A and B are shown apart, each in its own frame.
Chain A
Amino acid sequence: MNVQSPLLSVRDLKVWFDIKRQGAMPWTPSDTLKAVDGVDFDLMPGETLGIVGESGCGKSTLARAIMRMVPAEAGTVLWLGNDLLQLNKHDMREHRKEMQMIFQDPLASLNPRMTIGQIVAEPLKTHHPGLSAGEVKDRVREVLDRVGILPNMINRYPHEFSGGQCQRIGIARALIVKPQLIICDEPVSALDVSIQAQVINLLMEIQEEMGLSLIFIAHDLSVVKHISTRVMVLYLGNVVEISEAAQLYRSPGHPYTEALISAVPIPDPSAEASKEVMILDADLPSPLNPPSGCVFRTRCPIAGPECAETKPPLTDRGNGQQVACHKR
């Protein structure tokens, strides 16, 4: 078996939403919001791909499109050779047990009316309906124990747990069907820093044990650096850079990546005070009306006339660093 064949391979994925303007007549054509506009990437088995970008750049939408939770406009999502976007509902359900998701708000992602035992058992009951109640219970206890929740808590309800514990329960729910990929949609943004570290270390341990691949979405760059093998930077639904994590932080290729990394706070007051932050002018342009050519040119310090004309393709700079920029 070829180790280098990707687990997941996304090509030219586009997710567009129709937005009705407020007060518009029923017959006026609606605007198109290009939330994700042509994203390509590969994910190797056992790898962690970090996805970073500002709010509203399409990180979560990309994740949901891969999971077929929002309809994609165009593109392919090859999962072990099958295009997920072409599958019917029933076949897609078969594949859902191979990829699971962890959500941003730990408490909101657990049904308040169900015990955590029922919550964690749900994927198992959905995908393996033949299991006896005893077997299900044993598996639930085992997986809860693995994520550091006392197994005798299975009859408790989500509101009786802290945010960090709820996220561990969310991880247990994702792990119970032994998936190959877990998509983490900002799994630690709602937790405080010490708990963030615990949850991330838990994820990394489990990844090692089970040989999982992770897609890790976050806007905290230091967290992404800690966990990721490779990092993908999104801007307005476009990939501006993909690179090995260490390489990206050492020498960012795209001016946007540079700005992002310069904004990461350093946990040393004197270094923090003296460092230079690259502040971008203006706000994120509206995704309803993105700039022509390179989407970043309106805020780019080095933009030239050619940037307004054509969209820069992702080009490999050797050493695995792919950057979409005309100027560099």
Chain B
Amino acid sequence: MNDRLVQPFQQPKTREIAERIAEDVKGRSLWADARRRFVANRAAMVSVVVLTLVVLFSLFGQFLSEYDIETPDWDVLGNVAAAGKPSIANGHYFGYDEYARDLYNRVIQGSRISLAVGVIGALVAVIVGTIYGATAGFIGGRVDSIMMRLVDIFMSIPYMFVLILLLVVAGRSITMIFVGIGLTAWLDMSRIVRGQTLSIKNREFVEAAIAIGVPTWRIIIRHIVPNLLGVVVVYATLLVPQMILTESFISFLGLGVQEPFTSWGALLSEGTKTMNYGMLWQLAFPLFFFVVTIFCFFFIGDGLRDALDPKDR
């Protein structure tokens, strides 16, 4: 009888645990938990790898090529469909576009602009939206009402119309696209953040912090923002492809970036015009990067949401 009581403590594992009690135990934070769940999500992890490759390609791809984005190859011009096919041998890996320019370099340059629009646009939306929404939510009362009614008013304006008008009136430029997209993208973000702030503000741990006497700014930084971050991160990831799609649509309409610069939308627009002449590659290469990137962002966003909010699946 006595033996059976003593026995468990003689097992090496139990003894090891008993010894470990002396030192500090490492806790597992919610962030660590989320990271573990995210890493276990295969689709999301593959997407992270693929997206990293796309980004690296758009940053360093031009070093693998001796051509640039704007010089036409006069020998091929006029006969692109027959002589401009993709070829590893002559260094035009993705072939020529309709003006006999090197498509490989144009895709790299387009990727850079599209990714920049997506990431910077989402970043602006996140920063402005979070500050605006958290302020409205935390202060509450009349300030909150006025700030959120303003958002409602902005939201009721058809933004694509405004964006197109802006580009027509102020001239086509990439800066105008940033301004136009940035003007509207933060509205959703601010609503989400405000709602989240309202619910966190009434949680007992915030009340506890107030009772302790923690200053307001420290409550916002230490208690509200960390609990807000999960939702913001997920929404930001889903916002990036939305920005890319908007920019592509504008560029597809011909209102986007100026020649010789290009973007995925502009490349796709040119590609659709020439696919009937047998130049399918001009559509296929930009389309491939476009689709792959959008998918990656969606999978990562999904993975983040599942990882940060396991109860909400």
Contact = CB atoms under 8 A, between A and B. Distances in A.
Interface of A: 67, 69, 92-93, 96-97, 100-101, 103-105, 108-116, 122-123, 126-127, 150, 152-157, 159-160, 170, 173
Nearest to A106: B204
B226 interface: yes
Contacts of B22: 152
B207 A109 contact: yes
B30 A157 contact: yes
B25 A155 contact: yes
A153 B25 contact: yes
A127 B205 contact: no
A105 B31 CA distance: 23
Contacts of A105: 204
Nearest to A114: B222
Given A111-B205, A113-B227, A155-B27, 17 more contacts: A69-B211, A92-B213, A93-B215, A96-B212, A100-B211, A103-B204, A108-B204, A109-B205, A111-B226, A112-B30, A112-B227, A114-B222, A116-B27, A126-B218, A152-B24, A155-B25, A157-B28
A126 B26 CA distance: 25
Contacts of B23: 152
A103 B205 CA distance: 9
Given A96-B211, A96-B212, A109-B208, A152 B21 contact: yes
Centre residue among B21, B26, B211 by max chain A CB count within 10 A: B211
B10 interface: no
Contact of B207 (A69, A96, A152, A159): A69
Contact of B205 (A100, A110, A152): A110
B280 interface: no
B211 A67 contact: yes
Contacts of B210: 69
B184 to A, nearest CB: 30
B223 interface: yes
A108 B25 CA distance: 23
B20 to A, nearest CB: 9
Contacts of B27: 115-116, 153, 155-157, 160
Contacts, number: 85
Contacts of B218: 126
Nearest to A156: B27
Interface string B17-45: 00001111111111100000000000000
Nearest to A161: B27
Interface residues of B, number: 28
A60 B19 CA distance: 45
Nearest to A152: B24
Q: Which 3 A-B pairs have the closest CB atoms?
A: A156-B27, A96-B213, A109-B204
A122 B213 CA distance: 10
A265 to B, nearest CB: 28
Interface of B: 21-31, 203-205, 207-215, 218, 222-223, 226-227
B223 A111 contact: yes
Given A96-B213, A111-B227, A101 B208 contact: yes
B29 A108 contact: no
Contacts of B28: 156-157, 160
Contacts of A96: 211-213
Given A111-B223, A127-B213, A155 B26 contact: yes
A127 B215 CA distance: 11
Nearest to B209: A122
Nearest to A170: B208
A122 B211 contact: no
22 contacts: A69-B210, A69-B211, A93-B213, A93-B215, A96-B211, A103-B207, A108-B205, A109-B204, A111-B223, A111-B227, A122-B214, A126-B212, A126-B213, A126-B214, A126-B218, A152-B21, A152-B22, A156-B25, A157-B27, A159-B30, A173-B208, A173-B212
Nearest to B29: A157
Contacts of B214: 122, 126
A123 B212 CA distance: 6
A100 B204 contact: no
Nearest to A105: B204
A122 B208 CA distance: 10
B230 to A, nearest CB: 9
A134 to B, nearest CB: 14
Contacts of A112: 30, 205, 227
A115 B207 CA distance: 18
Contacts of A113: 29-31, 226-227
A101 B214 CA distance: 13
